[in-house]
Amino acid sequence: MKYNIKDEKIVFNDHYKMVKATVSYDTFNGAQINTKRLAFERGNSVAILLIEKETQSVLLTNQFRYPSCKNNDGWLLEIPAGSLEENENPEDCIKREVMEELGYQLPTSKLIHTFYTSPGGSTERIYLFYAEISKENKTEKGGGNSEENEDIELVKIPISEIVSAIPKIKDAKTILALQWYLLHFKKL
């Protein structure tokens, strides 16, 4: 099956971009659809599920999120995450984000999956990592990047409380990562 993108143009360009295009694509019954579509170009991101070995805890961030205020959820618990810079390697980006947000030096990490956050409207793809770290890896304060007006709190949730914590979490990448952990490491 084939598709064709034409007349692609930027219709909004601020911190993020909105692109509008004329697209045509094959249907499953052999016909073709011609239509206009919008795409929110947010860029790609990284995220990581961190387990602190000594405390047997998941390390999460608690931070203000303006878009979630629309549903009366100003602060969200999330796994550490951030946006990839242009031409940045995902592994380098996740190390930078973990240091900025939590103050931990990340020695190694494992890529466990890549996925789209909302493919019906956004181009964003997340590189999801997993790592186990030690208390000794905490070498800086963390708390976010002050130049980006971030104010991030470190929250530790014991592994034994993951199942009861999931219903309170409203961030999809965090729910996905915690469920991945339960499937691969935790006996229910």
Percent of the chain with pLDDT over 70: 98
Say whether both 97 and 178 belong to one domain. Answer: yes
The string of pLDDT tens digits covering residues 31-56 is 999 999 999 999 999 999 999 999 99
Q: CA torsion angle for 138, 139, 140, 145 (degrees, to 10)? A: -70
- The structure's pTM equals 0.93
Q: CATH number, domain at 163?
A: 3.90.79.10
Say whether both 89 and 37 belong to one domain. Answer: no
Q: Regarding beta strands 32-41 and 45-52, do their DSSP bridges make them parallel or antiparallel, or are they unpaired? A: unpaired
Say whether both 27 and 14 belong to one domain. Answer: yes
pLDDT tier at 148 (50, 70, 90 boundaries)?
confident
Say whether both 110 and 172 belong to one domain. Answer: yes
Say whether both 86 and 165 belong to one domain. Answer: yes
Say whether both 15 and 36 belong to one domain. Answer: yes
165 annotated to bind ligand: no
Which pLDDT value is given to residue 34? 97
Question: How many residues comprise the chain?
Answer: 188
177 annotated to bind ligand: no
Count of domains for the chain: 2
Residues 6+ apart with CB under 8 A from 60: 77, 78, 79, 80, 154, 155, 156, 157, 174
pLDDT of 187 higher than 60: no
Say whether both 117 and 145 belong to one domain. Answer: yes
Say whether both 35 and 59 belong to one domain. Answer: no
Say whether both 75 and 142 belong to one domain. Answer: yes
140 annotated to bind ligand: no
State how far Cα 16 lies from the chain centre: 16
Say whether both 25 and 110 belong to one domain. Answer: no
State how far Cα 158 lies from the chain centre: 21
Q: How far apart are CA 139 and CA 181, in angstroms?
A: 26
Say whether both 92 and 159 belong to one domain. Answer: yes
pLDDT tier at 188 (50, 70, 90 boundaries)?
very low
Residues of the domain holding 10: 3-41
Dihedral sign, Cα of residue 145, residue 148, residue 151, residue 153: negative
Say whether both 20 and 61 belong to one domain. Answer: no
